[in-house]
Amino acid sequence: MDFLKLVYGGSTGAVFKGPAVDPVELEKLQNRLEEADKWLRQGIDEGNDGFGWLKLPYQQTEHVFEYGNWLGNFENVVQIGIGGSALGNLMLRNALVHPYYNEIPLQKRKGPAFYVADNVDPHGSKSILDVVDISRTALIVVSKSGSTAETMANFLYFFHQLELAVGASMAPDHVLVITDESRGSLRAFAKDTGCRSLTIPSGVGGRYSVLSAVGLVSAVAMGIDIENLLEGAGEVDEKLNSRKVILDNPAWILSALHYLHYRKGRNIDVLMPYSDRLEDFVEWYAQLCAESLGKQGQGFTPVRALGSIDQHSQVQLYTEGPDDKLFTIIEVKRTDNPISIPGVNQPSLKELSYLYEKEMGQMLSYEAMATAAAIYRSGKPVLWIEVEELSPRTLGGMIFFFEYVVALTGRLLEIDPFDQPGVEQGKRYTYGFMGRKGYAEHRREAEDLFHMLNRKSIEL
């Protein structure tokens, strides 16, 4: 196994209490998957909108390194962005740097402390300012559209603080803008002030942008090996491109199984890694899945779970609740930090001796197996993905793999996995409420709808 192993025996066959997926049904999707793969590859060649992420493993990275290294001049970096302009950064940090990275003393860290301002909850934004010296802080402001209200509001807030701290003329020297080549307020700001800026390639959508400057610049600043990250993504791309028979291609199988189980009423997609380092990967995947596939009355509800914690929270529902979910458990085989559980010389703890000298990571793996077995025993379909280790290379490969699976699944569902009309609707209503010029009609519409909700209410 170079990157991952997909175990899918628990998701086909006649063991289910509910409708089963016959292995023959999988093979019958060969032609449709072949067509979907061709559609993707043709989309890149023709430079179609939304397909640009397939080229990201092969991009030039000089500017990413230049600006990532420039961030090393600061004590802190605050990335301002939301959705696809933030979740990938959090995923990379969670998976590839120390969980308490920001708390490690600056001299021992590989780069500046890293914060993300995504929500417009003043509590979160103010709290960042409580812990950073803004005069020693750089802002990375990321927005594909260059206009998303939350990102703009946080940008104005932090930029103003910078102006107060270092003066209006110096403040732009602390800012890196990552946005569209020509449209939006951020591009105009970069042109006017001459602050540093990078471009999000036009064909790359927000939730597919983690392997562009959006995710890579902060990764370089935190010392993540982005060359290996991209190399892993490229290797997986090549492997997937060389396997055009369904039973030979794990991404095709995964996509087909999602599609087939969905058709049989399982429209909840539970992704449950047994690794703290993949907690934000699941968060990132949830956006990718929901925004790409939730369209035209179709889609999967992504559920973020984490083993073993959710064994003590969700597994009751998973095993004995409704049969409306497809489960995917991820096991990372190698841990960098083994702990041998010590035996202690306390007679009162004798019953715990079954744990003595056992390795804690091994215990986590057994827990993953226990959950898979319990779900399967209850008659529900369960997939298992094994990853040898979590490194920049393997994570890059996994990112590309899941993006490809989601895009293929979108094609099987006959929807466009690269647009997000529902998100845009919410953005228009927000602009309207906040008084943006040209959006008054949207405000009226949203207010009318909201008043309809209010026809019935009750106080306590």
The answer to whether 120 contacts ligand PA5 (rule: CB under 6 A) is no
Least distance to ligand PA5, CB of residue 127, Å = 22
**Does residue 151 interact with ligand PA5 by CB under 6 A?**
yes
- Of 312, 350, 451, 456, the catalytic one is 312
Q: Is 227 a catalytic residue?
A: no
Which of 274, 284 has the CB closer to ligand PA5? 284
Q: Considering only residues 59-98, where is the footprint of ligand PA5 by CB under 6 A?
A: 82-85
Those residues whose C-beta lies under 8 Å from the C-beta of residue 170, and which sit 6 or more positions away, are none
Give the helix/strand (H/E) hosting 332. Answer: strand 325-332
**Residue sitting closest to ligand PA5 (CB):** 206
Smaller CB separation from ligand PA5, 73 or 425: 425
154 binds ligand PA5 (CB under 6 A): no
- Sequence-distant (6+) residues with CB within 8 A of 59 are 201, 212, 230
- Within 356-395, the residues that bind ligand PA5 by CB under 6 A are none
State which of residues 234, 423, 433, 445 lies at the interface with ligand PA5 (CB under 6 A): 423
Report if residue 215 touches ligand PA5, rule: CB under 6 A.
no
Phi, psi of 196, rounded to the nearest 5 degrees = -65, 145
Token pair of 209 as six digits: 């942008």
Question: Which of 198, 372 has the CB closer to ligand PA5?
Answer: 198
- Is residue 430 at the binding interface for ligand PA5, with CB under 6 A as the rule? no
Q: Which residues contact 443 (CB under 8 A, 6 or more apart)?
A: 429, 432, 433, 435
Q: Give the separation between CA 386 and CA 365, rounded to whole angstroms.
A: 10
Query: Minimal distance in Å, beta carbon 373 to ligand PA5?
Result: 36
User: Residue 410: which residues within 8 A CB-CB, separation 6 or more?
Assistant: 292, 293, 416, 417, 418
Catalytic residue among 150, 291, 331, 403: 291
Residue closer to ligand PA5 (CB basis): 10 or 417? 417
Report the run of H or E that residue 269 belongs to, with start and end. Answer: strand 268-274
Instruction: Rank residues 89 and 143 by Cβ distance to ligand PA5 and give the closer one.
Output: 143
- Are 284 and 89 in contact by the 8 Å Cβ rule? The answer is no
CB of 54 to ligand PA5, least distance (A): 16
Given a contact cutoff of 8 angstroms between Cβ atoms, the answer to whether 397 and 279 are in contact is: no
Nearer to ligand PA5, 64 or 178 (CB): 178
Q: What does the CA dihedral 238, 420, 301, 392 come to, rounded to 10 degrees?
A: 40
Q: Considering only 10-18, 142-150, 230-238, 310-318, which stretch makes contact with ligand PA5 by CB under 6 A?
A: 142-150
Q: Which of residues 242-301 bind ligand PA5 (CB under 6 A)?
A: 291
- 427 catalytic per annotation: yes
CA dist 375 and 369 (Å) reads 10
Active-site annotation holds for 331:
no
**Euclidean distance between CA atoms 141 and 111, whole angstroms:** 18
Catalytic residues: 291, 312, 427
The residues that touch ligand PA5, with contacts defined as CB under 6 A, are 82-85, 143-145, 148, 151, 205-207, 291, 420, 423
